[in-house]
Amino acid sequence: METYQVLVVDDEKEIRDAIEIYLKNEGITVIKAKDGIEAIEKLNEHTIHLIILDIMMPRQDGISTAFKIREEKNIPIIMLSAKSEDMDKILGLQVGADDYVTKPFNPLELIARVKSQLRRYVTLGTFEGRKQVIDLNGLTLDTAAKEIRVNGDIVKLTPIEYRIVEMLMKNAGHVFSIHEIYERVWKEPYINAENTVAVHIRKIREKIEIDPKNPRYLKVVWGIGYKIEK
């Protein structure tokens, strides 16, 4: 049975220690860091499967850290913050976070979100059997390698972004509503998630489209939802 390693990044020792206790009870190994700079160091020293990242920290905050991590890695990131305003959530998602939990958090909810992200990240594509490649006019999905390419060049996507593109490409031509996208990808009930989905769609377009304002692949069907053209 594989042991997962989670990097917990928070400037409050009590929070780091509490999360460590919760996750250890689930058989998860915890690596701890007190700020973004130490987090990058730990990330280079250990095999990390998921990061729980506080936003407000000294030296290097969570937003800057997430941005730096996304330059090289697509490890799931759950942002953690005492703030609950939509702008903080949107900013975290814009730099590549996959989920967001507000302090004070329910330990059971945090554990559930961690397990959900780990399951998607680690097992994504393992039930596809043999290598499957879908090519749609230069946009290529390789489910075995969990890669998206545009005209042969690998596109660096976050796990959530990858799952959105994978779903749309496997159902090319089908229009999915924001409601459907959220519940299929996030695997939880859709409640006020318009901004969450919209931010991820915009980020995907910035990565796969030559001109994101006039997309070739990821199209909007006004009033209905999104699709990737066949």
- Residues facing 94 on adjacent strands: none
Position 25 pLDDT exceeds 60 = yes
Structure confidence at residue 17 (pLDDT): 96
Higher-scoring residue by pLDDT: 58, 18: 18
Band of pLDDT at residue 223, cut at 50, 70 and 90: confident
Strand ranges across the sheet with 133-136? 133-136, 139-142, 147-150, 153-155
CA distances from 16 to 22, 25, 30, 35 (A): 10, 14, 9, 11
Would you state the structure tokens that stand for residue 215, as one six-digit string? Answer: 């997309």
Structure confidence at residue 82 (pLDDT): 75
- Residues facing 9 on adjacent strands: 33, 53
CATH architecture of 133-228: Orthogonal Bundle (1.10)
Residue spans of the domains in the chain: they are 5-124, 133-228
Task: Return d(Cα 146, Cα 164) in angstroms, integer.
Answer: 12
Indicate yes or no: pTM above 0.75: no
Band of pLDDT at residue 34, cut at 50, 70 and 90: very high
CB neighbourhood size of 211 (10 A): 8
Same CATH topology for 5-124 and 133-228?
A: no
- Average pLDDT of the segment spanning 208-224: 92
Q: Per residue in 150-167, pLDDT tens?
A: 988 999 999 999 999 999
Listed in sequence order, the DSSP H helices in 58-177 are 62-70, 86-94, 107-123, 159-170
Structure confidence at residue 59 (pLDDT): 87
CATH architecture of 5-124: 3-Layer(aba) Sandwich (3.40)
Task: Return d(Cα 135, Cα 230) in angstroms, integer.
Answer: 9
Position 219 pLDDT exceeds 90 = yes
- Residues facing 141 on adjacent strands: 134, 148
Give Cβ neighbours of residue 74 (< 8 Å, ≥ 6 apart). 156, 157, 158, 159, 162
Q: Per residue in 97-116, pLDDT tens?
A: 888 888 888 999 999 999 98
Weakest mean pLDDT among 9-23, 82-96, 133-147: 82-96
Band of pLDDT at residue 1, cut at 50, 70 and 90: very low
> pLDDT averaged over the chain?
87
Residues of the chain above pLDDT 90, percent: 50
Cα torsion 40, 123, 108, 74: sign: positive
Higher-scoring residue by pLDDT: 129, 55: 55
- Average pLDDT of the segment spanning 70-91: 78
Residues of the chain above pLDDT 70, percent: 92
- Average pLDDT of the segment spanning 113-131: 64
Q: How far is CA 77 from the centre of its chain?
A: 6
